[in-house]
Amino acid sequence: MIDKIFENWLLKFISLAFAVVLWFFVMGESRMEVNHIVPLEYENLPPKLMIASEVPTSVAIRISGPRAMQMNLSPGDISLSVDLTGLSAGVTSFKRLEESLNIPSGLKITRISPSYVDVKLERVREREVPVRVVMTGEPAVGFIVKSSKAVPGKVAVAGAESELKGVAEVVTEGIDLTNVQESFSQAVAISYIGNYTDLKETKTVEVQVVIQPDPDYVPPQPEVETTEETEPEGETAK
C-alpha cells in the first residue's frame, strides 16, 4: 500500500506543483471589484483667496482589476486631489475626477461618486465690528445696571468677502446678573460662529458692568396693625 503511494512520486509531485501554480495563476487573473473611500484634497490655493462653498472631502470609488492586484492595494496607493493653481474668485467646476485618481496600472475605475465638484473661491477680507455685551437675569432688588462695556470695544473678523458684508457686530456670551449688588469686571468669550468667516485674533473681552442703587426704588412700607374698639361691659345701647 505504502509502495503504491510513493510509486512515481516525482511525477505526482510535479503534477501537484503545477496544480498549485495554476490555481494561483487563475486566482490572480480573476477580476474582482472593490469599493474604497478616498480623501479628496484641494491643493495650491491662490493667495488671498479661500474656498467659500460646501465641497466634498472624500469620494466613493469602485475599482475593478485582477484579484492579486486588489489584494495588494492599500489605501495609501490611492490619492485624489484638485489643483487650484491659477484660479481667480468665482465658481470653477472640476469634472471627470476619475482622471485625476492615482492608482496602479492594470486597475480600472468603474464608479466614482461624486464624479465632479464645484469650488467657489472668494477674496479674503477683514473688518472691525463692535462687541455687544449680552446680560441675563436682573440685579438684586433696589439695584440697576448703570452701564456696561467690553474692552476692547471692537474686534476683527476675517473671511469670505460676501459673508463679511453681513456682519454688523459680534456678541458676548451671556453674563448672569441675578441678585448682583456690586459692580464687577469679568473675562467673557465672544460668541461668534460664521460659515466662512471667523474672529481673527481676539476671542475674549473684558466686560465691565457698573451696578448702582436704583434712585427710583421705594422700599415697601411695613403694614400697621389696627384694632377694633369695643363697648365697655355693662353699657347698653340706648
Task: Taking the CA atoms of 55, 58, 64 and 66 in sequence, report the sign of the dihedral they define.
Answer: positive
How high is the pLDDT of residue 17?
64
CATH of 29-115, one of 2.40.50.140, 2.170.120.30, 3.10.20.30, 3.40.640.10: 2.170.120.30
As a whole number, mean pLDDT of residues 118-129 equals 96
Indicate the SS3 state at residue 19: helix
125-213: CATH architecture: Beta Complex (2.170)
Bridge-based pairing state of the strands 31-43 and 80-83: parallel
Q: How confident is the model at residue 15 (pLDDT cuts 50, 70, 90)?
A: low
Residues 114-122 have a mean pLDDT of 95
Q: What residue ranges do the domains of the chain occupy?
A: 29-115, 125-213
Alpha carbon distances (Å) from 176 to 47, 182, 209: 43, 13, 11
C-alpha separations of 37 from 40, 47, 57, 63, 141 in Å: 9, 30, 10, 11, 62
43-69 in b/e form (b: 16+ CB < 10 A) is eeeeeebbebeeeeeebebebebbebb
Helices (H) then strands (E): counts for the chain: 4, 15
**Pairing of β 58-66 and β 31-43:** antiparallel
User: Has residue 219 got a pLDDT over 50?
Assistant: yes
**How does DSSP assign 88-112, residue by residue?**
-SEEEEE--GGGG-B--TT-EEEEE
Task: Name which residue leads in pLDDT, 39 or 75.
Answer: 39
The label of the residue with cell 459680534 reads 170
Model pLDDT, residue 208: 97
Q: What mean pLDDT, rounded, does the chain reach? A: 85
pLDDT at residue 221, rounded to an integer: 81
The answer to whether residue 237 scores a pLDDT higher than 90 is no
Q: What average pLDDT does this structure show over 200-220?
A: 92
Q: Taking the CB of residue 123, how many other CB atoms lie within 10 A of it?
A: 14
Q: What percent of the chain has pLDDT over 90?
A: 58
Cβ atoms of 135 and 175 within 8 Å: the answer is yes
Which of 65-69, 139-143, 159-163, 213-217 is the least confident region?
A: 65-69
Query: How far apart are the C-alpha atoms of 108 and 26, rounded to whole Å?
Result: 19
Given the DSSP bridges, would you call strands 143-151 and 117-132 parallel, antiparallel or unpaired? unpaired
Average pLDDT over residues 2-19: 59
Read off the pLDDT of each residue in 55-70 and give the average, rounded to a whole number: 87
Q: Is 30 exposed, middle or buried (0-12, 13-18, 19+ CB in 10 A)?
A: exposed
- Tell me if residue 17 falls in helix, strand or coil: helix
Q: Which of 8-17, 109-118, 179-188, 190-199 has the lowest mean pLDDT?
A: 8-17
pLDDT band for position 29 (cuts 50, 70, 90): low
Same fold, 29-115 and 125-213: yes
pLDDT (0 to 100) of residue 28 = 46
